[in-house]
Each structure stands twice: as C-alpha cells, then as structure tokens.
Amino acid sequence: MSFKKLKYRIKKNEGYSHKPYKDQLGLYTIGYGHLITKNENNYHIKKYKKNHFEKVFEIDFKKAHNQYKENFFQKQHTTSEKELLIEMLFQLGEKGVSKFKKMLYFLNKKQKFMASLEMLDSLWYLQTPERVKNLIKNYTRK
C-alpha cells in the first residue's frame, strides 16, 4: 500500500518549521511535527536543513505505521480507517490514541457517525479543530 497521499496530508496538517516551537501542549516540536525528546537538545542549538527533517518525518511516519500494525493490524479496516488511525498515532502517539476507547469501538463496529461524534467530543478537537474536521471528512467519505 502506498502512503504517498497520507504522508502529504500529514505534512500539510503538521506544517513545517526549521526552528523549535511549542505545540498546543507546550512541548517543543520541529520539522513536520517532530516532538523533540530530552536527548535531542541539539535541535535547540544547531540548525538543520529541510532534507534532514524529511528523513526525521519518514522515521516518525514509520513509527506511527508500526504502532498501527502492533495495535490494530488484526482488525479489518478500510483504507480510510487505517489512514485515520495512522495520522492520529502520528499526531497523538500511542498513549493519546488509546484514550479514544469509544471512538475506537464505533470505528471497529463500522459506525462512522458515532465514531465521528467521539472525535468531535474531545480535547483533540478543541486543540486542532480544522484538522479533526478534515480527518472526519476523509474518513466518512470513503
């Protein structure tokens, strides 16, 4: 399965910054939404070119895809469901996505409307409303 469109969409949703900035939670982020870890203080000191952050994005995307495979691969997901979960994992991480118990229940029951309502009724929606609305559109379209 090619993830070209999904990667493009995630990059667009994340935006790009070659300088560290604080995200909605006050955590330092750089590149295409890469969360700066404690052992990556070099991002606060040294400047990197965009091609470096392209590689970091690929690593982060692969991590999200692997988390999908570890947690959801046994489910029979449509392409739009799979892409939704991978993008959520990219943005929120495994721990964040695990908090969406009702949404995941409805997603697995193929109840798109109810799953969408659960996404709208979340702190995630309050933090990034346009992104969530666009993900819901993509998820319910297919």
Q: How far apart are CA 65 and CA 59, in angstroms?
A: 10
Residue 122 DSSP SS3:
coil
Q: How far apart are CA 61 and CA 39, in angstroms?
A: 20
Q: What is the pLDDT of residue 76?
A: 86
Strand ranges for the chain from DSSP E: 17-22, 28-31, 34-35
Residue 90 in contact with residue 10, Cβ under 8 Å?
A: yes
Contacts of 47 (CB under 8 A, 6+ apart): 18
Give mean pLDDT, residues 80-97: 96
Q: What is the pLDDT of residue 92?
A: 96
Domain with 120 in it: what CATH number?
A: 1.10.530.40
Give mean pLDDT, residues 67-80: 89
**Better pLDDT: 1 or 113:** 113
- With cut-offs at 50, 70 and 90, classify the pLDDT of residue 93: very high
**Better pLDDT: 75 or 15:** 15
Q: Above 70 in pLDDT, residue 5?
A: yes
Owning domain of residue 19 = 4-141
Mean pLDDT of all residues belonging to the chain: 94
Domain count along the chain: 1
Q: How far apart are CA 104 and CA 51, in angstroms?
A: 35
Q: What is the pLDDT of residue 1?
A: 59
Q: How far apart are CA 112 and CA 23, in angstroms?
A: 29
